[in-house]
Structure 1
Amino acid sequence: MTRRILVLSAGLSQPSSTRMLADQIAQATAAQIGARGEEAQIEVIELRELAMDLATTMATGGIPTPHLSEVKEKISAADGLIAVTPVFTASYSGLFKMLFDALDTNALNNMPVIIAATAGTARHSLVLDHALRPLFSYLRATVVPTGVFAATEDFGSGEAGHDLSSRVQRAASEFAALVVAEKSGVGGFVPNIGDQRKRDSGVQLSQTVTPFAQLLKGRTGTAG
């Protein structure tokens, strides 16, 4: 079975350390899913390419552009999400937050998620638990226990680089276990999370329309 994994990278420069970390996690995830006998289809979305769409959506009262609507549907349809942001002013970037502000509140129900962040110094490492984890908990996603933080010094071949690789592998293993289990639970033993998620991108309009006469039932139209 092919698992669709969406990677959201909020880096602003090109190349960026945020994208480097996102690619490292994606590669580890593909290997871990492959080790479980399944295939990972990885798609990366650079949020800087959505900046104008997100700004337009916010300025028009939440009406998404066609491009943003497509991205929202991809997010809700994914089997798992890898979300990576640079740290700005001790938290996730504004661009990163704008995307999640634009999602429907049911868009990530029970979605397996790896949270990750990059910064110039390890002093920002608490951003994972103080900012990112609460955000995804609010959206009812299933965040893996291991978050991945990378400071500039971690992108090397020394001990720091080895520690980062170990964290990436551990997070990818936890993530792959959730993703593979999502649609293959054995009755009576492992719950089928896929039946419980009921995600909604919020893009498609409901096909159920309440008749206008029913809405006005019992109302005479006269002032009381």
Structure 2
Amino acid sequence: MTTLAVVSAGLGEPSSSHLLADRLATAVANRIDVDTKVVHLRDLARDVADNLVTGFPGARLRRVVEDVVGADALIAVTPTFNASYSGLFKSFVDVLEPGSLVGKPVLIGATGGTERHSLVLDHALRPLFAYLRAIVLPTGVYAASSDWGAQAGLVERIDRAGAELADLLAGRAPAAPAAPYGDVVPFEQLLNGGRPTP
């Protein structure tokens, strides 16, 4: 069975980062059968810090790293701190061995207070995983506080991102989007007063 690792760096409980990570995992699981392993980094903060100081992971952190590295795909979600990913998120990534994410599909997500921080996906997360030579999916999902109330746009982004990852894991070509302007009146017809040109 396809395995999916879901890493959330949310610090609160409840956490909007955890919620976004769960919704993204559900969007994938609704399309293909996956064995999902969820990691809440807040529960591993001391283990990560100990590893950075000693250079050796404890047993619990080692199991989590093996789950993430051994998974067929990764969903990674972080809260936005100072216009970038959180320190805990980056510290966990630093624990991973160089080359351990090469070729792994990664769906990125982030949460924050306002829409102004949405570029964290493209100026922080995407370059980080590109440096690690992972395959970063085209659609990343950012959720501001206001997105949770409206939900319509957020649900659409989550579904699109989940479909992209599911299609990649299933070996399917992504579905072509419907042409948004399929019923456009030709320019020549508009010049002819709306009547079809002879």
Q: Per the shorter chain, which TM-score range?
A: 0.7 to 0.9
Q: Which amino acid aligns with 2:30?
A: A
Q: Which amino acid aligns with 1:12?
A: L
The 5-angstrom pairing of residues 40-79 of structure 1 reads 40-60=34-54, 62-79=55-72
Q: TM-score, normalised by structure 1?
A: 0.75
Kept in 2, the 8 Å contact 1:120–1:151? The answer is yes
The 5-angstrom pairing of residues 1-224 of structure 1 reads 2-33=1-32, 39-60=33-54, 62-156=55-149, 158=150, 161-181=151-171
Kept in 2, the 8 Å contact 1:148–1:168? The answer is yes
Q: Distance in 2 between matches of 1:176 and 1:168?
A: 12
Q: Distance in 1 between matches of 2:51 and 2:65?
A: 12
Could you give the per-residue CA deviations for residues 2-32 of structure 1, whole angstroms, max 9, x where no partner exists?
2111100100111111111111111111012
Could you give the per-residue CA deviations for residues 153-182 of structure 1, whole angstroms, max 9, x where no partner exists?
0002x3xx110111111111111111122x
Kept in 1, the 8 Å contact 2:37–2:67? The answer is no
Q: Which amino acid aligns with 2:99?
A: N
Q: Distance in 1 between matches of 2:31 and 2:158?
A: 11
What is the RMSD computed on CA atoms of the aligned residues? Answer: 1.1
Kept in 2, the 8 Å contact 1:75–1:107? The answer is no
Q: How many residues align?
A: 172
Unpaired runs of at least 5, structure 2: 173-198
Give how far 1:65 is off.
1.4
Specify the SS of the correspondent of 1:177.
helix
Specify the SS of the correspondent of 2:139.
coil
Q: Distance in 2 between matches of 1:63 and 1:127?
A: 30
Q: Distance in 1 between matches of 2:76 and 2:10?
A: 11
Segments ≥4 residues shifted beyond 3 Å: none
Q: Distance in 2 between matches of 1:116 and 1:177?
A: 18
Q: Distance in 2 between matches of 1:23 and 1:127?
A: 20
Q: TM-score, normalised by structure 2?
A: 0.84
Could you give the per-residue CA deviations for residues 60-93 of structure 1, whole angstroms, max 9, x where no partner exists?
1x21112111111111110110000000011000
Number of the residue aligned with 1:36: none
Q: Distance in 2 between matches of 1:179 and 1:75?
A: 16
Could you give the per-residue CA deviations for residues 48-69 of structure 1, whole angstroms, max 9, x where no partner exists?
1110111101111x21112111
68-77 or 145-154: bigger deviation: 68-77
Specify the SS of the correspondent of 1:32.
coil
The percent identity for this pair of structures is: 52
Specify the SS of the correspondent of 2:99.
coil
Could you give the per-residue CA deviations for residues 98-132 of structure 1, whole angstroms, max 9, x where no partner exists?
01001011111111110000000000000000000
Unpaired runs of at least 5, structure 1: 34-38, 185-224
